[in-house]
Structure 1
Amino acid sequence: MHSNHDFFRLAGRRLLGLLAALAAGSVGIADDKQELLRLLRQEEAYGPISQRVPGKAPSTSARAAQESPQIRTSSASPRPPISRVRSASPIAPEKIEINPAERRVKPKKSPSWLTSYTIGPGDTINIAMYNRPDLFRESVPVGPDGTVSYLQAIGVRVEGLSLDEVGEKIQSEIRDYHPRAKVFVTPAELGSKQIAVIGQVKEPGKFALDRPTTILEAIAGARGIQVGQVSGSAFELADLERSFVGRDGGKLDVDLSKLYFQGDFSQNAQLEPNDYIFIASSLRNEYYILGAVSDPGRRKMPTKLTVLRAITDAGGFTKEAYKMHVLLVRGSIHNPTTEVINVRDILTGKKADIPIQNRDILYVHKRPFHIAEDAVDSAIVTFVQTVAAEVVNQNYNPLSIGAGD
C-alpha cells in the first residue's frame, strides 16, 4: 500500500506530465477529461496539490490556511475582479488579428432591400400587358421553386429579380407569340422577405417584412415581451442584457437594453430580410461553454460550478484547443465584462478555480491569446450562432429549474 507521501508524489508527477502536454498541445480529448476530472476530485478532497503536506491529509484549519497570500490572494489582496478588456497577465503578446467576418454587424441607415425589392417564393404579383386589359392577371403566385407562369411563358424563374426585371423576362419569353407586347409587373402581396422574433415574447414566430420595420415595431408585432406575476405584481421575463438581433451569422451592433430602458432610439435599427430578434429569459438558470471543447453548448447551471468542472462536463478540450487560457464573458453581451483565465495557474494551485455564475459564457479558442480583446468577438459571435442553431433545430427547450436552484 502506498503511503500518503507516495500518493502526493505520484499526483505531482502526473500533474507535471499534464502541464507538459498542455504546453505542447498534445493532450487528447479523453485524456483531458480524465485528467481534469481526476484533479478536480483530488482538489475537492485534499485541496490544491501545491498546498498539500506530504504524509498528512489537510485538516479543516489547514484548508483555511490554503487561502494564504503566498499561494493566492487573500482578503487583504483580493483576486483582481473581472475586468473589461484585458487580463492582469504580465505577458505582452503579439496582437492577433480577428477575422473581419467575426466582427459585429453594423446596422444600415437605409437597408438595400427597401430601394430595390426582389421577388421570391411567397410573393404574389400582378401582370399586365399594355393595351390588352383582357390579358391582365391578378395575384400570380411565385412558386416554391421561384418561378411564375403567364400565358405562353411557363415556369419562368424570377427569384432574386426586381419587378422591372421580371416584366422584361416574361416579355422576352412571350415575344414569339406577342411581338409588340409590353409587360408590366406590380406587387400584389409581399411575403418572401421575413424576420423572426423568438424567445420571451407573447407570440414568437416569423413575420413578413413587407414594409420598413424597426426592432421595436417587430417586438410589438409579436405582442410585446412576456410578463409574469408574483404576489399580484407584474414583472417582465426578458433579460435584455443578453438579448440580441442576429444578422448574416453575426450579431447586429445594437444594445436592446439601452433601447428599452434608456430610450436610446439610435439602437432602434431597421430590420432586413432573415434578421431575427432573440429575447433571452431572465428566469433560466444556465450557462454556455463554447468553442474548442468536445460538447459545446448551453447547460443547466448546477448549485456549484467552476471553470475546470465546466470544461470537464463539456468533454474536455479538443485537439485544436488553445489550452493555456480560456475566456470568461459575463454580464451584457453588448458591453460585457471579460476575464482571461490561466488554466495552468489553476491546475498548479497558483490561483483558485473560478466559480461560474448564472448566464456566464466560457469560451475556449483555437488560437493563442492573452488579452480579452483578441477573443471576445469570436466568443460573442459563437454565442449568437449557437442560439440560432438551437432555434433552427428546435432544440431550444426550457430548462427545468429545480427547487434547490
Structure 2
Amino acid sequence: MTFSYKIFITSLVLVTVSGCGMIPGSHFEGIDSGDQTRNLEQDLDNVNIQIIDASLIAHQKQQRKKPKPMSSNAGLNTRHYQYKLGVGDVLTIGVWDHPELTIPAAVQRTAEFDGFRVQEDGTITYAYAPNIPAAGKTVTELHKELVTRLSKVIEKPQVDIKVVGFRSQKTYITGEVTQPGVYPITQIPLTLIDALNQAGGLSEAADWRTVTFTRGDNTEVIQLDKFYAQGDISQNRLLQDGDIVHVNRNDAQKVFVLGDVKKTGTVMLNRYGLNLAEALSDSGGLNENTADANGIFVLRKRNYQQTGILADVYQLHARNIASLVLAEQFELQPHDIVYVTSAPLARWNRVISLLLPSVATLDNVDGLNN
C-alpha cells in the first residue's frame, strides 16, 4: 500500500508542478458562479460540479442524519444466551448436606485447580456419576443429568454447579487496540463492541471507521463509525469460538492538499472528522500573493461503473468571511483531493482535467489493496 500511495502522491505533485508552469497566477473578479459551473461542465462531462454553498451544506447534513437500513441481525438479542461447555472447561460441583461429595477448599489452591475438568472425550466424572457427557451442553442441562444420576443413591439431591475456568472457547482481538490478545468466551455474552472495550479500546493509530470481522472462511467489514455515531446496532456481532476481530491502522484516512498553498502534502483525518477549513489551515493556508480564493476545489472519486461519473468536484468561493463558515462545515472524506489554483477561470477546467487521472489512479490503488 505504501509504495502505491507514493506513486499516487508523485503523480499529484507532477500535476501541480505542470499546472503551475503552464497557468499564470492571474485572477478574475466578479464572475457569476453559474457561468463557472457551466464552463467546467462543458469540458468535463464525466464530472459532477457543485458550488459549496448553504444549500449543499444543508443537504450533506441531512444525508448524514438519514436513517440507515438495519440488517437482519439488528437489535442483537443476548437475553437467551447460554454458555455451552467445551473440552478444557473447569467446574466446581457441590451437593448440599453431603460434604463428603464436595472437595474442600485448600490453602494456596484455587477452585479451578481443584475443579472437575471436561476431558478430551467431552465427559466429566463425579462420585456415583462416571463419564457424564458435558461438552456441548449448558450448565442447566448438565445439572439435570447429574441430578438424575445422583437421585439413584441420594434422596432429592441439591446440586450446585459453577464454571470456574473458561478454557474451551476464545476469540482473538488483533491490530490497533490497547491490549491485543486472546479473550475467553464465558457465561456472559461477549459482543464485538464488548471485546474492543475489554481490549482497552482503539489505539491512537487505529482506523476508527471500520474493523474486520472473520468467522471461519467468511470475512466482513464492520462499520464501526455507524455504530458509535448513528447507533446502528446491526454492526455489532455476538462473538463465538475462533472469531477474529482486527482493527486496522489509520494510514488510509487522509486527504491530499495540493496547488497554491504554503505546504502541499497529506492531512490525516482523526476520529472526529476533518473539514475543509482545517485541511487548508494544516497546510499553512493559501499563498496570499498568488492563490485565487475563488479557485478552491475538492475532488472526490465516484464509482464510474455504477454512476457514469468519474468524480464530484466541489468549488468554494473564499473571497469573503462568510465562505469561511462554509469551509468549516464542509466535511472531507478519505482520499479527497483539495486543490487551490492560481489559474484564470477560463483554464481552471484544464487543471481539473489534469487531476482526474490521479483520481482514476487512486481507484486502481484501492482495487489492488481490496
Structure with the higher helix share, 1 or 2? 2
Please indicate the TM-score interval, normalised by the length of the shorter structure: 0.3 to 0.5
Whichever of the two has the greater Rg, that structure is 2
TM-score normalised by L of structure 1: 0.39
